[in-house]
């Protein structure tokens, strides 16, 4: 398939944005629960990252009160399905400490094994098993026929650990 020339001459997908209702509590959560690198960038913002060049800006909005839909979640990868189960146990045990809600059970879905939950700022997170390069394996495989990686029986054996 021939690649078409894009309308814009862009070089890098650099960041996304998350909302915080209390920046100090969010900073503590990102550092002590997730283990993310956190840099304070202003009185109302942070930058967070883990394992790569893509960052999230976290912006405080004390009046924010709507929950992120799970389809717009944020993914954090681990190496194995066992580590997903271990992360699920930690999230369940520490839910009240961090204000975690709606913690789903781990299950095979969209080519991975994962679970979802919402943080105290109503951001949705997914902890999933993925290879070292995350979802880059999908780009390596190319366009999928039918439902592709959404198939519950999707064979990811060549990319799983």
Q: Which has the higher per-residue pLDDT, 27 or 131?
A: 27
Per-residue pLDDT, 161: 42
Q: How high is the pLDDT of residue 92?
A: 98
| Same domain as 71, residue 41 | no
Task: Give me the sign of the Cα torsion angle 19, 24, 28, 29.
Answer: negative
| H/E element, 95 | helix 95-98
Average pLDDT over residues 42-66: 94
Asked whether the beta carbons of 103 and 117 are under 8 A apart, the reply is yes
How many residues comprise the chain? 161
> At 118, which CATH number?
3.10.180.10
Q: Say if residue 142 is in the same domain as residue 94.
A: yes
Q: What is the pTM assigned to this prediction?
A: 0.85
Verify that 104 and 139 share a domain, yes or no. yes
Phi-psi region of 15 (alpha: psi -120 to 50; beta: other; left: phi over 0): beta
* Tens digit of each residue's pLDDT (9 = 90 or more) over 118-154: 999 999 999 999 888 777 777 777 777 766 555 666 6
Task: Give yes or no: residues 86 and 138 share one domain.
Answer: yes
Per-residue pLDDT band at 160 (split at 50, 70, 90) = very low
Minimum mean pLDDT range among 10-14, 108-112, 139-143, 157-161? 157-161
Q: Is the pLDDT of residue 107 over 80?
A: yes
The number of distinct structural domains making up the chain is 2
* 90 band by pLDDT with thresholds 50, 70 and 90: very high
In sequence order, what are the beta bridge partners of 60? 20
Structural domain harbouring 27: 17-64
Given this model, what pLDDT does residue 69 score? 87
Q: Are residues 56 and 119 in the same domain?
A: no
Q: 45 and 91: one domain? A: no
Do 81 and 57 belong together in one domain? Answer: no
pLDDT at 110 over 80: no
């Amino acid at each position: 398939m021939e690649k078409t020339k894009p309308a814009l001459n862009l070089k890098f997908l650099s960041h996304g944005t998350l909302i915080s209702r209390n920046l100090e509590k969010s900073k503590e959560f990102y550092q002590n629960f997730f283990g993310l690198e956190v840099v304070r960038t202003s009185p109302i913002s942070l930058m967070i990252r883990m394992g790569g060049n893509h960052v999230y800006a976290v912006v405080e909005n004390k009046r924010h009160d709507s929950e992120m839909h799970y389809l717009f979640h944020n993914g954090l990868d681990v190496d194995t399905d066992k580590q997903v189960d271990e992360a699920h146990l930690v999230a369940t045990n520490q839910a009240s400490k961090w204000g975690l809600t709606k913690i789903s059970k781990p299950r095979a879905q969209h080519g991975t094994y994962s679970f979802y939950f919402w943080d105290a700022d109503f951001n949705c997170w997914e902890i999933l098993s993925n290879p070292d390069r995350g979802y880059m394996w999908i780009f390596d495989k190319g366009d999928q026929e039918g439902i592709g990686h959404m198939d519950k029986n999707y064979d990811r054996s060549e990319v799983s650990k």
